[in-house]
């Protein structure tokens, strides 16, 4: 979490993205116009240097919603895997879990709590919930939705310490997920 | 640049006597005390991160090998296993030693494990952790190391200096003193070069430029040559060379490690074990399923067919092992062989009614059944 916060600071300092701002109008569009979402009013939203849209109510170290749109061939940079045509939702989830495990030593030991099919703006994908412990022993939960699209790979995530914060704003996250509209090239041919 | 600055710092560092027993293994200065304090703090972080592999018999076994190598340090050198498939191990300045699950799984016998433990134990007895920190602190090298590593996962100096490699001189010392320990404990020293051969194969399979554990180590080839030279005149008959005994002890470790490797997408590394008939012979009959998964994940030319053959082999060897049916079902679904897909997916759901991925499989089964209507 702290790492993410520092990354945010540096991302903002680079000056190529809009500065963090309070959400007054829910409808928010991606910088590359690939999607729109309704963010909760009163939260802080911020575009990271890689164009990931981040939002938090109490502070990015306490809860973060992150929305990312990546080209299919760069969907999983740490494991150097891509989203290929005909990939099944469970295979996509498998790639996402491997990518998360490659993030840190703590994440490598993550536990998958749930892994099931999900639909995001009419596209078939997955929803994975994992837990892991930080170096200070804090249990963190992370829920990730991912779907393929002709315009790339879309991922929306929610990360928060299990203690208090995860449950406190989880419903807000699910509303954001429901509000997501992908403006890209359309559904990938599904089986 | 890093090597030059570090080497200069080593030359300037005062010599420290190695510890000779548990009783003498104490910090001798406020500075060393502080380093040990950092080690304790770091060990606590490892504990809290829940990355330690919890299997008491396995941990006790590894500890027993360490105690055989370093009997005079009983109670001071403590070994734990880390849930990570990478071939790695590291020693903290206060005698806590961590061995990755991947090493235990990959080794073929106790003598190979003892080689690594003797090496890591020597890092402790020869106070390399403390010496390395002095070197790093007193030079610009630390800044380079931290910048290179990005450090954030392991913020302390002690972690960086222990995990990311000691100086070339210290590694050579740990190799040679460790080798003497190995011989004194009666192990078959002819197994020692194999340890570095495993590392070399891993480096090649995963396409790693320099494994971070060996960032400033002597080259692997050089170490293999040194170990081969040292052990060339050793007589046969040393202890710890039985592969069958070790395989029996490590069956669960190897399966757990395979699952970890595959969940991280490390298919090539997993195949190093799964393509070895001797290694496979020590695994349960359904292990061919993991070989199939590794081929599927690797995705090279011909791997789809190799995966199918491995899954079929697993079904034949272990007809009640559910995951093989799911894998075959998905394989046939992707190959537009819907009847076969439906048959195997149904069988999976029968065998694993409470499977976590049940909903996925039910969806795939529906697709297969729907498409079956259009098939001759």
Q: What are phi and psi of B76, to 5 degrees?
A: -100, -45
Chain B interface includes A133 (CB < 8 A) = yes
Q: How far is A95 from chain B (nearest CA, A)?
A: 8
Averaged pLDDT for residues A51-62 = 95
Among candidate residues A96, A103, A99, the one with its CA nearest the CA of residue A4: A103
pLDDT of residue A17: 77
* Cα distance between residue B82 and residue B39, in whole Å: 16
Averaged pLDDT for residues A24-48 = 96
Chain A interface includes B205 (CB < 8 A) = no
| pLDDT more than 70, % of chain A | 87
pLDDT of residue B375: 57
pLDDT of residue B285: 94
Task: Decide if pLDDT at A62 tops 50.
Answer: yes
pLDDT of residue B373: 78
* Cα distance between residue A139 and residue A148, in whole Å: 30
pLDDT along chain B (376 residues), means of 10: 39 74 94 91 88 95 98 96 91 94 96 96 94 64 38 45 70 92 95 91 78 54 84 85 92 96 95 93 95 97 98 98 98 97 98 96 97 71
pLDDT digits (tens, 9 = 90+) for B88-125: 899 999 999 999 999 999 999 999 999 999 999 999 99
pTM, two decimal places: 0.86
Contact flag A135-B83 (C-beta cutoff 8 Å): no
Q: Which value, to the nearest 10 degrees, does the dihedral of the CA atoms of residues B198, B204, B206, B211 take?
A: 70
Q: How far is B129 from chain A (nearest CA, A)?
A: 21
Sign of CA dihedral A49, A55, A59, A63: negative
* Cα distance between residue B373 and residue B376, in whole Å: 8
Averaged pLDDT for residues A184-189 = 56
How far is C-alpha B135 from the chain's CA centre? Answer: 28
Q: What are phi and psi of B352, to 5 degrees?
A: -130, 70
Q: A35 or B238: which carries more pLDDT confidence?
A: A35
pLDDT of residue B5: 37
pLDDT of residue B144: 40
pLDDT of residue B8: 44
Task: Decide if pLDDT at A37 tops 90.
Answer: yes
Axis-axis angle for helices B251-263, A89-101 (nearest 10): 100
Q: Which residues pair with A156 in a beta bridge?
A: A67, A145
Q: What is the ipTM of this complex?
A: 0.86
Averaged pLDDT for residues A80-90 = 93
**CA nearest A139 in B: which residue?**
B49
pLDDT of residue A12: 46
Cβ-Cβ contacts under 8 Å for A84 (sequence gap 6 or more): A72
Chain B interface includes A61 (CB < 8 A) = no
Among candidate residues B268, B151, B375, the one with its CA nearest the CA of residue A104: B151
pLDDT of residue B135: 66
Q: How far is B152 from chain A (nearest CA, A)?
A: 7
* Cα distance between residue B93 and residue B255, in whole Å: 32
**CA nearest A134 in B: which residue?**
B49
A86, A90, A105: residue with CB nearest B153: A105
Contact flag B363-A137 (C-beta cutoff 8 Å): no
Q: B213 or A102: which carries more pLDDT confidence?
A: A102
């Amino acid at each position: 979490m702290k790492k993410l916060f520092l990354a945010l600071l540096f991302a903002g300092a680079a000056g190529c993205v809009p500065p963090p701002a309070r959400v007054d109008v829910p409808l928010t569009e991606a910088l590359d116009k690939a999607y729109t979402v309704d963010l909760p009013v009163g939260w802080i939203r911020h575009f990271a240097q890689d164009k990931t849209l981040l939002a938090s109510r109490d502070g990015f170290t306490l809860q973060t919603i992150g929305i990312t749109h990546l080209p299919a061939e760069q969907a999983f940079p740490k494991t150097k895997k891509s989203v290929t045509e005909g990939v099944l939702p469970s295979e996509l989830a498998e790639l996402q879990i491997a990518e998360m495990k490659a993030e840190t030593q703590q994440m490598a030991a993550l536990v998958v709590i749930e892994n099931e099919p999900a639909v995001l703006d009419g596209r078939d994908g997955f929803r994975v919930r994992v837990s892991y412990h930080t170096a200070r022993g804090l249990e963190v939960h992370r829920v990730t939705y991912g779907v393929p699209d002709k315009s790339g790979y879309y991922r929306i995530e929610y990360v928060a310490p299990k203690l208090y914060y995860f449950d406190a704003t989880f419903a807000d996250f699910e509303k954001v997920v429901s509000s997501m509209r992908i403006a890209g090239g359309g559904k990938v041919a599904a089986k | 640049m890093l090597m030059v600055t570090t080497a200069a710092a080593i030359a300037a560092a005062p010599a420290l006597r190695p510890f000779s027993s548990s009783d003498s293994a104490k910090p001798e200065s406020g500075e060393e005390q502080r380093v040990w304090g950092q080690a304790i703090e770091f060990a606590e972080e490892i504990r809290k991160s829940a990355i330690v592999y919890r299997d008491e018999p396995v941990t006790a076994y590894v500890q027993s090998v360490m105690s055989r190598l370093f009997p005079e340090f009983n109670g001071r050198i403590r070994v734990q296993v880390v849930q990570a498939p990478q071939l790695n191990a590291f020693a903290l300045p206060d005698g806590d030693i961590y061995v990755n699950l991947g090493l235990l799984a990959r080794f073929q016998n106790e003598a190979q494990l003892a080689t690594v433990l003797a090496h890591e134990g020597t890092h402790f007895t020869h106070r390399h952790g403390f010496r390395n920190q002095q070197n790093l602190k007193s030079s610009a090298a630390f800044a380079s190391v931290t910048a290179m590593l990005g450090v954030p996962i392991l913020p302390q100096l002690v972690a960086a200096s222990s995990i990311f490699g000691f100086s070339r001189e210290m590694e050579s010392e740990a190799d040679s003193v460790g080798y003497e320990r190995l011989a004194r404990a009666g192990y078959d020293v002819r197994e020692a070069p194999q340890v570095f051969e495993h590392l070399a194969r891993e480096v090649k399979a995963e396409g790693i430029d320099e494994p971070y554990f060996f960032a400033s180590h002597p080259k692997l080839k050089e170490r293999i040559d040194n170990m081969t030279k040292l052990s060339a005149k050793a007589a046969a008959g040393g202890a710890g060379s039985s592969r069958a005994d070790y395989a029996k002890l490590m069956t669960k470790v190897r399966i757990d490690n395979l699952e970890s490797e595959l969940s991280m997408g490390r298919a090539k590394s997993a195949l190093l074990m799964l393509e070895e008939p001797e290694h496979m012979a020590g695994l349960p009959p359904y292990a061919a399923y993991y070989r199939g998964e590794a081929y599927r994940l690797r995705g090279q030319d011909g791997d789809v067919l190799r995966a199918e053959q491995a899954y079929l082999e697993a079904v034949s060897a272990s007809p009640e092992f559910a995951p093989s049916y799911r894998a075959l079902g998905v394989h046939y679904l992707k190959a537009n062989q819907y009847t076969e897909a439906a048959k195997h997916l149904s069988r999976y759901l029968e065998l694993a009614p409470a499977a976590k991925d049940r909903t996925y499989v039910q969806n795939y089964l529906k697709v297969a059944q729907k498409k079956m209507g259009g098939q001759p």
